[in-house]
Amino acid sequence: MNNVFIDVTVLEPRMKHPTIFDAFDNVAEGYSVVIHNDHDPKPLYYQLLGERGNCFSWTYLSNGPEIWEVEIKKNEKNVETIGEIASKDMRKAALLKKLGIDFCCGGKRSLEEACLEKGLDVHRVKDELQNAERVTPAGPQMDFNSWTLSFLADYIINVHHTYVKENTRLLADLSEKVAGHHGAGNPMLITLRDKTHELLRELTTHLKKEEQILFPYIKQLETPGFRKDQQQGFATVKDPIWMMESDHDLAGNLSKEIRQLTNDYTRPANSCNSVGLLFHKLEEFENDLIQHIHLENNILFPKAIELENKL
Ligand SMILES: [Fe+2]
Ligand SMILES: [Fe+2]
């Protein structure tokens, strides 16, 4: 079956998911089921992921507030997502980042889709990815895929959460100072302060949710003798993961806005050292955030869903 369009709003509630699953099962590889809905169908994403596995891409064609349309495209066999490519080889992750391909929040797409979106020649990018395998890594390579989920969760907290916490005060104060001194002559710096503060606020709340709710639960999943009925507050790990991925999308979008505002962190001519330091720290912060979200979205979360399904 080729592409299918389903208006979910006209279906009886009990028929919605079976109809979509049936259409997905019958659509040919490389083709899509497009669903039209009056609310965000994200829970369906996790249900499909849990029951059919990581064999599709999920792209919002329309993202509310009244109408949601999602293209669910069935992957052709053996087609890796860009999140999977990045998670298997840090040199390839570095290349994707250099090319401006978002593999953390947008990691569930195929390379073809990501290249199309960026206007890049997919054959050339494939060649470059192959060449990246021949590059000798600059430092020790960490094989995150081989780690236990508990160890990876601890690593994320100790490295990336700690980095965010250690830099929050500095970035909040520095962006405030720069906006106060130079904002009258350059209103972009006022917007930059507001976006920076918003990003820091969002992340502060987000880290607490991961450290207090989701990560402890993921660690419990690896505890011998763990039973699913011991969980509290949510029916499945997919629920908090969905919330965390929504937070990641929000943080990722704010980070992209900051990059655009600063013209890729290009320090304005004749700007003072404080502006230079702010731009430098914001770029460093974005780099850390990309790796942080990549480890969660592309490794920790899919593996936690897989593990819970097995229990
Ligand atoms: Fe995190
Ligand atoms: Fe996170």
User: Looking at residue 231, what is its pLDDT?
Assistant: 55
Residue 78 Cα distances to 1, 75, 86, 209, 257, angstroms: 20, 8, 16, 35, 34
Same domain, 152 and 122: no
How many domains are there within the chain?
A: 3
Residue 3 has pLDDT above 90, yes or no: no
- What is the tens place of the pLDDT at every residue in 122-178? 999 999 999 888 877 666 678 898 999 999 999 999 999 999 999 999 999 999 999
CB 110 within 8 A of CB 57: yes
223 occurs within a structural domain: yes
- Segment 278-297 shows an average pLDDT of 95
Q: Is the pLDDT of residue 283 over 90?
A: yes
Domain, as residue range, for 237: 144-310
Residue 288 located in a structural domain: yes
Q: Using the mean position of ligand 1's atoms as its centre, give its distance from the Cα of residue 149 in Å.
A: 13
In a domain, 54, yes or no: yes
Q: Please check whether residue 139 lies inside any domain of the structure.
A: no
* Whether pLDDT at 188 is above 90: yes
Q: What gap in Å lies between CA 194 and CA 3, rounded to an integer?
A: 43
130 Cα–ligand 2 center, Å: 30
- Which pLDDT band holds residue 275 (cuts at 50, 70, 90)? very high
200 and 171 both lie in a single domain: yes
The C-alpha atoms of residue 44 and residue 46 are separated, in whole angstroms, by: 5
Q: Model's pTM, two decimal places?
A: 0.75
Q: What Rg value do the Cα atoms of the chain yield, rounded?
A: 21
pLDDT at position 230: 57
Angle between helices 238-261 and 188-209 (to 10 degrees): 160
Same structural domain, 63 and 34: yes
Query: Is 268 or 37 the better-scoring residue by pLDDT?
Result: 37
Do 163 and 296 fall within a single domain? yes
Map 127-187 to HEC letters.
HHHHHHCCCCCCCCCCCHHHCCHHHHHHHHHHHHHHHHHHHHHHHHHHHHHHHHHHCCCCC
Look at the block and give the residue holding tokens 């080889």: 89
| Pair 124, 159 in one domain | no
Please tell me the distance between residue 72's alpha carbon and the centre of ligand 1 in angstroms.
27
Q: CA–CA separation, 287 vs 97, rounded Å?
A: 9
pLDDT exceeds 90 at position 29: no
Cα-Cα-Cα-Cα dihedral sign, residues 234, 236, 242, 245:
positive
47 Cα–ligand 2 center, Å: 21
CA dist., res. 7 & res. 36, Å (int): 5
Same domain, residue pair 58 and 113: no
Q: Are residues 157 and 306 in the same domain?
A: yes
Q: 137 lies in a domain?
A: no
Tell me the percentage of the chain whose pLDDT exceeds 90.
Answer: 61
| H/E element, 7 | strand 4-7
Indicate if the pLDDT at residue 23 is higher than 70.
yes
CA of 201 to the centre of ligand 1 (A): 14
Distance between Cα 47 and ligand 1 center (Å): 23
Give a yes or no: residue 36 inside a domain.
yes
Same domain, residue pair 198 and 241: yes
